[in-house]
Structure 1
Amino acid sequence: MTMTEAAGNMRETTEALVAKARAAVPVLAAHADATDQQGRLAPESLEALREAGLFELGTPVEFGGADVDLVTLVRVLSELGRACPSSAWVVSISTGTKAHFSRGFPEKVLAEVYSHPDVRWCAGSTPGQAVTVPGGVKVTGRWAYASGAEDAHWAFMAVASVGDDGVPHVGGALVPMSELAIERTWRVAGLQGTGSHTVVADGVFVPAERFFEFPLGPDGGPDFLMGRPLEVVLQAVSVTAPLAGAALGALDVVKAVVKTRKPPMTQYNSLAESASARHVFAEAEHMVTSGYDRLISLAGRIVEQWPGDDVTAVQRSSLRMEVVSILQQFLRAVDLLLDLHGSSAFALDNPLQRFWRDLNVGARHAQLSTYLTTENYGLLVTGAGGPVQVG
């Protein structure tokens, strides 16, 4: 196969997956309120995503998964987020967790885990405790913010143990959800439907083949990026994609009423008749659409530089700065759209307020910390020191 043919096949795969995502949108939109209120994906939404094969995105190809690049993933997740950001978020987290951590386990384990390609994972990053026992480890801990926990099949959990030398070792354990408890702790203002609850283990046995220790990085600490320096940026872009969808969804809501909605206490018959309203809408529309284009472009640059072995720390930090810059653009745009729509946008039956809540909560995810990303970049470009955060 020539490079041209391979590129053509990739484009066909991308367009097919985007079309599947678009076909699932009406179902996700129709059940977005139920997803929000129930604190987990509505059964109808879950089934629509499964039927579309969108939980297969992070599954290894040899086990029936789809080998997609970051540009394709961003397009698919943004499309889903345009209807229901919570649904898109759960797909994003499961996809990223599987794609990154599957390679830490032997083929025998993966064959068991991926008995069906649409298997779903959740994850907890704050390390629990692992105690070595014959044949494996026993794991104890609490892992908060495990998005999609109630609908996941497996949980990947970071754990720490102390060896005979007194040195702490950090690894990852893969555990069936049937062996874990879930505490419904996710009560937040936005992304309510992600069900990012707390996963609990109390002395759960994990066989040795389902546990691995993270390799050591150049600084002597655990390398959570597992030898892929751009992984931290890739994951940041992946979780931004559903939020891009939220901004696009908010734009859709206001665009649908701009010619019919009357500005309050004026003689205008519609927002479109008001010069100032047109100006605000044009500004917001451009922020959203250009922000989306920037995100696609950034994803393409990451694909070209992957896995980033020759990317400097400054370059990597600069890419993260671009992610948070795009997010700030989305946040500002949706605020403008709310100004245009007025107070009725905050009625609970108006999807605009849900897009606004989901965007604002998601933008504060640890991967997207604006102030720490800026601090890292400032330290690096001034030569004042190394980053205070991974990446």
Structure 2
Amino acid sequence: MSLSEKLIASARDIAPMVEKEAYNTDRNRKLSDAVIDACCDAGLMQILVPKMYGGHELDYATMAAVVYEFGRYCTSTAWVISFYIGHNYIHALWPKQFQDEVFANGPCGLTPGTIAPNFRLKPVDGGYIASGLSQWNSGSSRADWFLNSGLVMIDGKPQRALAFMVPAAEVEIIDNWDMAGMRGTSSGDARLNDVFVPQHRVVEVADLLNGQSPGSKIHSNRIYSLPILPFVLGETLPVMVGAYRGAADVFKRLTEDRYSTFTSAKVQNKQTAQMRIGHGQAGAAIAETLLQDYVRFLDTIEPSEIQAIERRAEVRARVGMIADYVYKGINEMMLGAGGGAYRNSSPMQRFLRDMNVLRVHGFLDTETATENLGRVQLGLEPNCPL
């Protein structure tokens, strides 16, 4: 058994714990320490960490397969673990001095955060002073570092965007995550009040977007030279596809066990129920095929082949449309799931709520993504990061 197969098998072993904890994850608005610790102990967080730092330096296929296993039972858990794994990959894009720092105590760290430019950065000797408030910091209940982004301000005017890392001890974590969906992701706000950020913890956002980060010059493996947006979109895809498969399987079991309220007839004998089961199972299989296509894309494409803005716009639109496809498939099943599927104890309503939130995520919103693809194909400037 290869290392990749062993890690995926470990994820399958952890998945029953994820399923058992799913209700409490949603209710408590965060993952349990037990689930996070199990993933850390199994070596899942360092799937894409360079070998020079004790990581596995494997491929996106391994990461996607691990996240998919969790997505079948709990969208929130899959989302947070995907970001923890993915942000350990992002650590390897920073200057070597930061990589030495973040991997000093082991081959992984827990890093929530976002590259949306929420902060203001004031240049000072040796770095910057960061201040501001950011939202959507998934996984903030357990953190060693925070990934942030901000605009360099000179004379009150923004000059350029920088991504930067800050130790969790220097961040004020605000426990205000209370959403209709993705409730278990602890994606609360984070505030920085005049925090000094040394230069070695900083990267130009443009360099990340173009695959020209400091890490791309340190590590020869092609994965560290990929433009960051296709990878970040790849963090989300196995979460959503896993949710579709999980919802389809739950709906099938639910239908087999249900009886009509007024006639006591078995619901599975209704043609509409049979059609919905078939639609859900086939739809989940199609989503899995789309995921495998994206796996092959990220694991084989040369970074230079996705330098063109048109190609990145196409990737973003594709993933956005998959998000919409998954939501519609789960919603169609819910129409035939009965009132009991809307109880908080039912996985079906969690899958629906979670996908309803994800389909309007800043990177997954279909309208924004397809608009930008149309813009660049018409020779117009994009109006969102690509």
Q: Same fold (TM over 0.5)?
A: yes
Matched residue, 2:380: 385
Q: Which moved more, 1:33-42 or 1:322-331?
A: 322-331
The reply on whether 1:144 has 2:144 as its aligned counterpart is no
Going from structure 1 to structure 2, the CA distance change for 1:367 and 1:310 (only over 3 Å counts) comes to: closer
SS at match of 2:232: helix
Residue 240 of structure 2 corresponds to which residue in structure 1?
Answer: 243
Q: Verify: 1:16 aligned to 2:6, yes or no.
A: yes
SS at the partner of 1:244?
helix
Which amino acid is the alignment partner of residue 276 of structure 1? T
Instruction: Report the alpha carbon displacement of residue 386 of structure 1 after superposing the two structures with TM.
Output: 2.7
Q: 1:319 to 1:264 in 2, by over 3 A?
A: farther
Deviation sequence 1:122-176 (CA, Å, 0-9, x none): 1132331222333332211111111111201001211222358976132222111
Deviation at 1:211, TM superposition (A): 2.7
Q: What is the deviation of 1:303?
A: 2.2
TM-score, normalization by structure 1: 0.88
2:121 aligns with 130
| CA shift for structure 1 position 342 | 0.9
Q: Distance in 2 between matches of 1:138 and 1:21?
A: 40
Aligned residues: 372
Counting only pairs closer than 5 Å after superposition, residues 164-183 of structure 1 correspond to structure 2 as 168-183=159-174
Q: Match for 2:347: what amino acid? A: P
Task: After TM superposition, list the pairs within 5 Å mapping 1:218-367 onto structure 2.
Answer: 224-227=209-212, 230-266=227-263, 268-271=265-268, 273-309=269-305, 312-367=308-363
Does structure 2 conserve the Cα–Cα contact (< 8 Å) formed by 1:128 and 1:160? yes
Out of 160, 171, 185, which is 1:194 matched to?
A: 185
TM-score (norm 2): 0.89
Contact 1:190 1:359 in 2 (8 A): yes
Residue type at the aligned position of 1:112: E
The root-mean-square deviation of aligned C-alpha atoms, in Å, is: 2.3
Structure 1 residues not aligned, in runs of 5+ = 1-10, 217-222
Match of 2:220 in 1: none
Q: How far has the Cα of 1:40 moved from its partner?
A: 1.3
Q: Distance in 1 between matches of 2:304 and 2:14?
A: 34
Distance 1:165 1:340, change over 3 A: closer
Distance 2:188 2:308 in 1: 36
* Distance in structure 2 (CA, Å) of the matches to 1:90 and 1:366: 17
Question: Aligned in 2, Cα 1:184/1:166: closer, same or farther, shift over 3 Å?
Answer: closer
Tell me the equivalent position of 2:77.
87
Alignment match of 1:31 (pick from 18, 21, 39): 21
The correspondence for 2:176, drawn from 185, 208, 214, is 185
Q: How does 1:18-167 map to 2 (within 5 A)?
A: 18-106=8-96, 108-114=97-103, 115-124=105-114, 125-163=116-154
- 8 Å contact kept, 1:81–1:246: yes
Q: Say which of 365, 369, 373 aligns to 1:369.
A: 365
Distance 1:385 1:208 in 2: 35
Structure 2 Cα separation of the partners of residues 363 and 312 of structure 1: 26
Letter in 1 for 2:61: V
- Counterpart AA for 1:29: E
Amino acid in the other structure paired with 1:30: K
Asked whether the equivalents of residues 59 and 99 of structure 1 are also in contact (C-alpha less than 8 Å), the reply is yes
Query: For the structure 1 residues 328 and 165, does the alpha-carbon distance in structure 2 shift closer, same or farther, using more than 3 Å as the test?
Result: closer
Q: CA deviation at 1:266?
A: 4.0
Moved more, 197-206 or 321-330: 321-330
Deviation at 1:282, TM superposition (A): 0.4
CA distance, structure 2, for counterparts of residue 347 and residue 27 of structure 1: 21
Note if contact 1:230-1:302 (Cα within 8 Å) is conserved in structure 2.
no
1:34-58 Cα deviation digits (max 9, x unpaired): 1111111112222222222222234
Gaps of 5+ in 2: 213-224
The answer on whether the counterparts of 2:136 and 2:189 sit within 8 Å (CA) in structure 1 is yes
| SS state at 1:204 partner | strand
What SS is found at the alignment partner of 1:122? coil
State the AA in 2 paired with 1:360.
N
Matched residue SS, 2:2: helix
Bigger mean CA offset, 283-292 vs 116-125: 116-125
Matched AA of 2:241:
A
Distance in 2 of aligned mates of 1:286 and 1:118: 37
Please give the secondary structure, in 2, of the residue aligned with 1:75. helix
**Residues 150 and 260 of structure 1: CA distance in aligned 2, closer, same or farther (over 3 Å):** closer
State whether residues 163 and 169 of structure 1, in contact with CA within 8 Å, keep that contact through their aligned partners in structure 2. no
Distance 1:289 1:308 in 2: 31
Aligned position for 2:219:
none
> Structure 1 CA distance, aligned partners of 2:160 and 2:307?
27
Structure 1 residue 275, shift from structure 2 partner: 2.3
Query: Residue type of the partner of 1:181?
Result: E
The alignment-based identity, stated in percent, is 25
